[in-house]
Structure 1
Amino acid sequence: MDLEKIRTIIEKDFSAKNKVREKGLIHSRKTIQLSGNAIRSIHRGEQEKAKKMIAEAREELSQASAELKDHRDIYFAGFMQNAEKEYVEAEATLALITGKPLPEPDSLEVGYAQYLNGLGEAVGELRRHILDLIRHDELEKGDKLLDLADDIFYLMASFDYPDAITYSLRRTQDITRSIMEKTRGDLTTAIRQKSLQKSINELQEKL
């Protein structure tokens, strides 16, 4: 039994996997960083800057996929799925806040589970934007965005499959539901306060 030969074969395989893993990690981390920065730019109203960073994030994701195309076990180790989810979140946040149609998963070249989880996380960004709209007394816009968040939640809730297939979509559903309930409460309170203030003003004018 030539154990040294066996060791050499395995060492060569492990070494190759480790090299592509490191390259994939670099690109996936850049994808996550760019996606996060893009979302921050969206909230600051810097849409063109956000679009540029999202395009860069997509390129990083594509490079990571290319590096790992012959090593599917490494591709599905987890870090790529997280990068895809963060990229989807950025794309979805931009579309929702700017009033554009949501991009489809195949056009983004991401897994379906990552797509759904990314949409769920985008609802959290919608909450932040809706709170900004409440502060600026743009309640109607906030109400429309909440309707979009409802649509996303019902899309997610329509899938009932094991976590091994959906990458813990149930957990994302639970978080999304909680975010929506809080946001609906905040928006309802703001609408009632505005209505009450309007009634008070009308009464004062009559006195």
Structure 2
Amino acid sequence: MVTETLKTYITTVVPKLQDRFDAREKAFSISREIIRYAGEAISLSHRFRKDEALNKYKLALEKLDNLKKLIEKYPELLYGEIATAFQEVAEATIVISIYFNQNLLIATDLGIPDAFYILGIADAIGELRRKTLEHLRKKELEEAEKTYQMMEELYELLWELEYPKALVPNLRQKIDAMRRVLEETHHDIFLAYLR
């Protein structure tokens, strides 16, 4: 009797597990596309290729909508590479907003969890260092200073977020890394003025 009951139960569970497995595989595939498009959007922004950057960003947002539909059905899938995709979209959103003076979309606009948007802000600070160095290379000291100021402001915003790792994973480590990035960038600007 027990084995028959369990056999019946297992036959009802298999389709559910298969559906979840298929959703997981699809979510990972979509996540990889989002990460690629968001990364390309950031890279193109650094090269001031606005139309191409905005096109890649748009593709990332379209894929993000697909991913969110899967996550709605299976919220337990929101980890690892899938979480990284949300974070990368946040980072690309901030970078594109800075480079091309676009309206800044926040987590609620994008429909992504706050924790991943916050981590995207932290990653955007690193991209601003790249922007600062490019200004220094072109001897645009005033623009380098402005970008550095923005880096500092973002850092200060994040520094105030003293929450456990379970709420915003890896934020403390990212903030520590950003402090070093800020110090290095400040030093680079100082050297540029000396020259």
Q: Same fold (TM over 0.5)?
A: yes
Other-structure match for 1:141: 143
Contact 1:35 1:57 in 2 (8 A): yes
2:107 to 105, 108, 120: 105
- Sort the Cα spacing of 1:35 and 1:162 in 2 relative to 1 into closer, same or farther, 3 A: same
Per the TM alignment, residue 156 of structure 1 is displaced from its structure 2 partner at its CA by 0.7
Check if 1:129 corresponds to 2:131: yes
Residues in 1 aligned to 2:6 and 2:102: alpha-carbon distance in whole angstroms: 60
SS in 1 for 2:112: coil
Separation in 2, partners of 1:122, 1:63: 24
Measured in 2, the distance between the counterparts of 1:147 and 1:103 equals 21
Q: How far did 1:68 drift?
A: 2.6
Cα offset, 1:192, TM superposition: 2.2
What is the TM-score normalised by the length of structure 1? 0.88
| Cα distance change, pair 135–102 in 1 and its aligned pair in 2 (3 A) | same
What is the identity, as a one-letter code, of the residue corresponding to 2:194?
Answer: R
Deviations 1:89-145 (A, max 9, x none): 111111223345543221122211111111111111111111111010001001001
- Structure 2 unmatched runs, 5+: none
1:175-203 alpha-carbon deviations (Å, 9 max, x no partner): 1111111111101110122xxxxxxxxxx
CA distance in 1, matches of 2:147, 2:103: 13
Number of equivalenced pairs: 192
In structure 1, runs of 5+ residues without a counterpart are: 194-207
Q: 2: CA distance between counterparts of 1:151 and 1:120?
A: 11
| TM-score of the two chains, using structure 2 as the length reference | 0.93
Write the mapping of 1:42-81 to structure 2, written as runs, cut at 5 A: 42-74=45-77, 76-81=78-83
